[in-house]
Amino acid sequence: MKLIRNGTFVEDDFITVGDGDQLPDGAAIVSLERWQAERETLRARNAPIGVRLQSGQEPGAIADDLDRIDLVALEFPVYRNGRAYSYARLLRERYGFKGEVRAVGNVLRDQFQFMIRCGFDALEVTDNITPEIWAENAGSFSLFYQPSADGKETVLSLRQRLAARAQEKATA
């Protein structure tokens, strides 16, 4: 697997640990179950911490801890399961989460742009994805009808600016 963070291929500095495994000294990602069971210890830990949510585990479950959490990994068990798109938007738009939101699991190249739009800033992708494939698919579309977590200007807003400019010209 490769990790793309903010459009750049990087080494993963987080280690995903199993529920029974010993925590490493550095940055670690734990399951929601482990987070809930060891919440106090994990909160007090002196290293970055991430929580991995499976499909069906809503971000509301960690909403009160987002101040301490550095990364939320959202799982796509299969590309067809689009629940995590809603989870990502909720994390960004409802809970104001500023840390990393990482897409893990079955992530297809044709979904990159949808994921970015919903607030994912990191994607775990298969090894065959190259920077060229990333660039091509992350920018398939340059215009957007919907407001979303990436804050991109919408077509509606572009229309309003055009209309305002036309009006200015007319009155000038």
Partner 1 sequence: MYRYDEFDQQLVNERVAQFRGQVGRRLSGELTEDEFKPLRLMNGVYLQLHAYMLRIAVPYGTLSSKQLRMLAHVGRKYDRGYGHFTTRQNLQFNWPALKDMPDLLAELASVEMHAIQTSGNCIRNVTSDQYAGAAKNEIEDPRIVSEIIRQWSTFHPEFSFLPRKFKIAVSGTPDDRAAIRVHDIGIQIVQNGKGEIGYEIYVGGGLGRTPMIGKKIAGFVPKEDLLAYLEAVMRVYNMYGRRDNIYKARIKILVHEIGVEEMTRQVEAEFAELRKAGALHLPQEEVARIEAYFRPPSHENLPDDSAELNKAVLADRGFANWVKSNVAQHKVPGYAIVNISLKPIGGVPGDCTSDQMDAVADIAEKYSFDELRVTHEQNLTLAHVRKKDLHAVYELLKAHDLATPNIGLITDQIACPGLDYCALANARSIPLAQQISERFADIERQHEIGELKINTSGCINACGHHHVGHIGILGVDKKGVEYYQVTLGGAADEKTAIGDIVGRAFTEDEVVDAIETIVTTYIGVRQNGERFIDTYRRVGIDPFKESLYETH
Q: Nearer to partner 1 by C-beta: 35 or 120?
A: 120
If we measure between CA atoms, which residue out of 112, 105, 102 comes closest to residue 136?
A: 112
Lay out the sheet containing 28-31: strands in order across.
Answer: 8-10, 2-5, 122-125, 100-105, 71-76, 49-53, 28-31, 15-16
> Total number of residues binding partner 1 (CB under 8 A)?
37
Are 51 and 72 a contacting pair, CB within 8 Å? yes
- Tokens matching residue 84: 């995590």
- From 3, 15, 108, 138, residue interacting with partner 1 (rule: CB under 8 A): 108
Q: How big is the chain, counted in residues? A: 172
The nearest distance, CB 5 to partner 1, in angstroms, is 19
Cα→Cα distances 104→18, 111, 162, Å? 15, 12, 39
Beta bridge partners of 103: 74, 123
Q: Nearer to partner 1 by C-beta: 115 or 123?
A: 115
In the shown chain, the binding pattern of residues 38 to 67 toward partner 1, with x for contact by CB under 8 A and - for none, equals: -----------------x--x---------
SS3 content of the chain, % helix, strand, coil (to 5): 40, 20, 40
Q: Nearer to partner 1 by C-beta: 42 or 118?
A: 118
Q: Nearer to partner 1 by C-beta: 49 or 90?
A: 90
In the shown chain, the binding pattern of residues 110 to 149 toward partner 1, with x for contact by CB under 8 A and - for none, equals: xx-xxx-xx-----------------x---xxxxxxxxx-
Q: Which of residues 65-94 bind partner 1 (CB under 8 A)?
A: 79-83, 85-87, 89, 93-94
State how far the Cα of 101 lies from the Cα of 128, in Å rounded to an integer: 22
In the shown chain, the binding pattern of residues 148 to 167 toward partner 1, with x for contact by CB under 8 A and - for none, equals: x------xx-xxx--x----
Cα 149–Cα 142–Cα 158 angle in degrees, nearest 5: 75
The nearest distance, CB 152 to partner 1, in angstroms, is 10
Residues forming the site for partner 1 (CB under 8 A): 55, 58, 79-83, 85-87, 89, 93-94, 108, 110-111, 113-115, 117-118, 136, 140-148, 155-156, 158-160, 163
